[in-house]
C-alpha cells in the first residue's frame, strides 16, 4: 500500500524540520569560550531602585553615591558682588534673590539677630543707601574667601557658641558650617551719609550652596539701626 498524501506530507515536514534544526545547531555559537577551562558563573546585577541624593563629600565605603560638581571661587565672588550691588541700589527684590529664605543677620557684639531681608528693609526705609553707588565702599581684591574647613575658628570666634557643633541650640543649628559652605570676609570703608552710619567695618558672609549657585545664608555685621 502506498502512503497517503497526508503521510507523505508529514514525512516531508519532519525532514524539513530536521534540516532546520541541523542548520541552527551549526550556526549557534557557544555562550562561553570553548577553551577547555572552567569559567566563573555570571553575576546578576540588580538595577538601582532610586537615584542617590547628590552629596558634597562622602567617606570611604559609602557604597553607590552621586557627587555634586563643586562650585568654584568665582561663584562665591559673583554672589558677593550681587549682594553688595543690591544694597547700594536699595533693590529689595535683587537682594532677596541673593539670600536663602531663612537668611539671618547677626550682630556679634550684642548677639542680636533677625531676618536679613526685613532688617535691610528697615534700613532702606530709614537710611539712604543709594549714597554707596557713588563711593568705593568695598574693593574686590581685599575680599577673603575661606572654605568651611579653613573658616571654622574664624566663624566660631565671630558668631559665638551657636556656631560650635555640640553647643548649638535648635534655633541656631543653621549657624553651624556645612562642608560645602564658603565664608567671605568683606572689609568695608564704612562710609557715613547725611542720614548716618550705613554699614559696619566689615561683613562676614556665610554662603551656602543652592542648586548651581551660592546664596547668602548668614550675615555677621556689627551694626545697630538707631
Instruction: Give the per-residue pLDDT at 171.
Output: 43
Instruction: Give the per-residue pLDDT at 90.
Output: 97
Per-range mean pLDDT, top range of 42-51, 65-74, 183-192: 183-192
Instruction: Give the per-residue pLDDT at 64.
Output: 57
Which stretch of 6-10, 35-39, 152-156 has the lowest confidence by average pLDDT?
6-10
Q: Which residue has the higher pLDDT, 9 or 41?
A: 41
Which stretch of 55-59, 149-153, 163-167, 195-199 has the lowest confidence by average pLDDT?
163-167
Indicate the pLDDT class of residue 111, thresholds 50, 70 and 90.
confident
Domains defined along the chain, listed by start: 73-220 (3.10.450.50)
CA-based nearest residue to 32, from 40, 22, 44: 40
Q: How far is CA 155 from the centre of its chain?
A: 20
Rounded mean pLDDT of 70-78?
A: 93
**Helix (H) / strand (E) containing 17:** helix 5-27
- Asked if pLDDT for residue 209 goes beyond 90, the answer is yes
Instruction: Give the per-residue pLDDT at 85.
Output: 97
Rounded mean pLDDT of 168-180?
A: 68
Instruction: Give the per-residue pLDDT at 213.
Output: 96
Cα 76 to Cα 13, 56, 152, 176, 191, distances in angstroms: 79, 16, 18, 18, 24
- Asked if pLDDT for residue 87 goes beyond 90, the answer is yes
- Kindly compute the dihedral angle of the four CA atoms of residues 85, 213, 93, 178, in this order, to the nearest 10 degrees: -100
Amino acid at each position: 500500500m502506498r502512503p497517503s498524501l497526508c503521510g507523505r506530507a508529514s514525512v516531508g515536514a519532519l525532514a524539513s524540520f530536521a534540516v532546520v534544526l541541523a542548520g541552527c545547531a551549526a550556526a549557534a555559537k557557544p555562550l562561553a569560550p570553548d577553551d577547555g577551562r572552567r569559567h566563573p558563573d555570571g553575576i546578576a546585577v540588580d538595577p538601582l531602585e532610586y537615584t542617590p541624593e547628590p552629596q558634597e563629600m562622602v567617606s570611604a565605603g559609602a557604597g553607590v553615591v552621586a557627587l555634586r560638581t563643586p562650585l568654584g571661587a568665582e561663584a562665591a565672588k559673583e554672589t558677593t558682588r550681587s549682594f553688595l550691588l543690591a544694597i547700594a541700589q536699595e533693590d529689595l527684590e535683587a537682594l532677596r534673590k541673593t539670600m536663602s529664605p531663612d537668611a539671618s543677620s547677626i550682630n556679634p557684639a550684642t548677639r542680636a539677630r533677625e531676618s536679613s531681608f526685613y532688617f535691610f528693609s528697615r534700613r532702606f526705609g530709614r537710611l539712604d543707601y543709594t549714597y554707596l553707588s557713588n563711593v568705593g565702599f568695598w574693593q574686590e581684591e581685599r575680599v577673603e574667601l575661606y572654605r568651611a574647613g579653613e573658616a571654622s575658628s574664624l566663624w566660631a570666634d565671630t558668631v559665638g557658641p551657636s556656631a560650635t557643633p555640640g553647643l548649638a541650640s535648635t534655633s541656631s543649628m543653621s549657624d553651624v558650617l556645612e562642608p560645602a559652605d564658603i565664608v567671605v570676609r568683606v572689609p568695608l570703608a564704612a562710609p557715613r551719609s547725611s542720614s548716618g552710619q550705613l554699614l559696619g567695618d566689615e561683613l562676614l558672609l556665610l554662603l551656602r550652596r543652592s542648586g548651581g549657585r551660592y546664596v547668602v545664608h548668614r550675615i555677621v555685621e556689627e551694626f545697630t539701626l538707631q
